[in-house]
């Protein structure tokens, strides 16, 4: 039986924090640690902590939702879900990969920027991925690119990792361009990223590419991603579609999107 950790959410001022600033307290023996929700390296080091916070306490539904919307998109084509060779981008400790594996995808390749994510996957879900790379896609070297490209991935998924600086636009585009043309893309984003008042580079990039000639969108669905620590619903969009072609840097530059 999985050990239950002693965690406490702050009682005041949490509502004034942005989603990536929210934190909790972890009680360990005689010590209490303050950990931000986006301090994934620290969370992954404690077995079962990620699942307890985001899935048991805050009722996150995103891996299942993004998997479902991808499955629905593929069913609209002549492709078979079981023939997907998936790049799980920002794979974390394998929650999304686990959902995909249940449905029998052909290959599953994990990618994350922090070694703690890989360590947690090996510890908690050994054998889940056919391979798992710890690398920075904003600085992807030729050797890593060649190894990942060799898997001939025809699908990319990324869940709950976009738009807060965890995955910069340059990294997302680099991963997108590794996927084969006519391959599948599925991801989720916070609902405000569709609002033109959001001027962040990632928000602008997402709005441009999903309605561009480079992607055919099959499904967009608004859903409850999880609860806030106050118990309020946080809504996201799940998006699935087919990649038509690589996205050139010149296109993004022409739209005023900085790929630093």
The 10s digit of each residue's pLDDT in 184-212 is 999 998 888 777 777 777 788 888 898 89
- Which two tokens mark 3? 């050990």
In the prediction, which pLDDT does 162 show?
A: 63
> Band of the pLDDT at 15, cuts 50, 70, 90?
low
Closest CA to 95 of 119, 73, 128, 136: 128
The C-alpha atoms of residue 248 and residue 163 are separated, in whole angstroms, by 20
Task: Say which residue, 162 or 149, is predicted with more confidence.
Answer: 149
pLDDT higher at 29 or 1? 29
Cβ count near 72 (within 10 Å): 15
| pLDDT given at position 166 | 61
Stated pTM of the model: 0.92
Give the burial string for 152-188 (b: 16+ CB within 10 Å, else e).
ebbbbbbbbbbbbebbbbbbbbbbbbbbeeebbbbbb
Whether pLDDT at 28 is above 90: no
* Domains located in the chain, CATH noted: 6-57 (no CATH), 62-254 (3.40.50.150)
CB atoms near residue 43 (< 10 Å): 24
Take residue 101 and report the two structure tokens written for it. Answer: 């594996």
Q: How far apart are CA 159 and CA 96, in angstroms?
A: 7
Q: What sign does the dihedral 225-97-39-36 (CA atoms) show?
A: positive
pLDDT of residue 1 exceeding 60:
no
- List b or e across 74-92, with b for residues whose CB sees 16 or more CB atoms inside 10 angstroms: beeeebebeebbbbbbbbb
Residue 26's CB is within 10 A of a number of other CB atoms, namely: 19
Identify the pLDDT of residue 182.
Answer: 97
User: Is residue 259 within 8 Å of 170, Cβ to Cβ?
Assistant: yes
Strand arrangement, sheet containing 31-36: 6-8, 23-28, 31-36
The one-character DSSP state at 3 is P
Work out the pLDDT band at 2, boundaries 50, 70, 90. Answer: low
**Mean pLDDT, the chain, integer:** 90
pLDDT tens per residue across span 214-239? 999 999 999 999 999 989 999 999 99
User: What pLDDT, in 10s, does the model give residues 37-96?
Assistant: 889 999 999 999 999 999 999 999 999 999 999 999 999 999 999 999 999 999 999 999
CA-based radius of gyration for the chain: 18
Is pLDDT above 90 for 169? no
Cα-based torsion angle of the residue sequence 53, 54, 58, 61 in order, rounded to the nearest 10 degrees = -160
């Amino acid at each position: 039986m999985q050990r239950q950790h002693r965690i406490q959410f702050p009682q005041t001022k949490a509502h004034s924090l942005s989603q990536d600033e929210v934190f909790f307290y972890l009680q360990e023996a005689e010590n209490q640690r303050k950990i931000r929700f986006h301090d994934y390296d620290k969370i992954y080091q404690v077995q079962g902590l990620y699942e307890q916070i985001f899935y048991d306490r805050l009722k996150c539904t995103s891996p299942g939702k993004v998997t479902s919307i991808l499955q629905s998109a593929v069913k609209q084509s002549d492709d078979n879900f079981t023939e997907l060779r998936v790049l799980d981008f920002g794979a974390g400790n394998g929650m999304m990969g686990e959902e995909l594996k249940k449905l029998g995808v052909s290959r599953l390749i994990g990618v994350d920027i922090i070694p703690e994510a890989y360590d947690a996957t090996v510890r908690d879900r050994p054998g889940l991925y056919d391979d798992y790379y710890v690398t920075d896609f904003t600085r992807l070297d030729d050797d890593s690119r060649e190894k990942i490209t060799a898997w001939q991935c025809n699908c990319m998924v990324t869940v709950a990792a976009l738009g807060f600086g965890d995955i910069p636009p340059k990294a997302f585009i680099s991963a997108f361009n590794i996927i084969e043309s006519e391959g599948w893309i599925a991801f989720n984003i916070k609902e405000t990223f569709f609002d033109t008042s959001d001027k962040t580079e990632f928000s602008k990039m997402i709005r441009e590419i999903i309605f561009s000639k480079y992607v055919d969108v099959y499904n967009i669905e608004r859903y409850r991603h999880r609860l806030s620590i106050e118990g309020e619903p946080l809504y996201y969009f799940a998006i699935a579609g087919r990649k038509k072609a690589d996205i050139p840097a010149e296109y993004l530059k022409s739209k005023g999107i900085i790929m630093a």
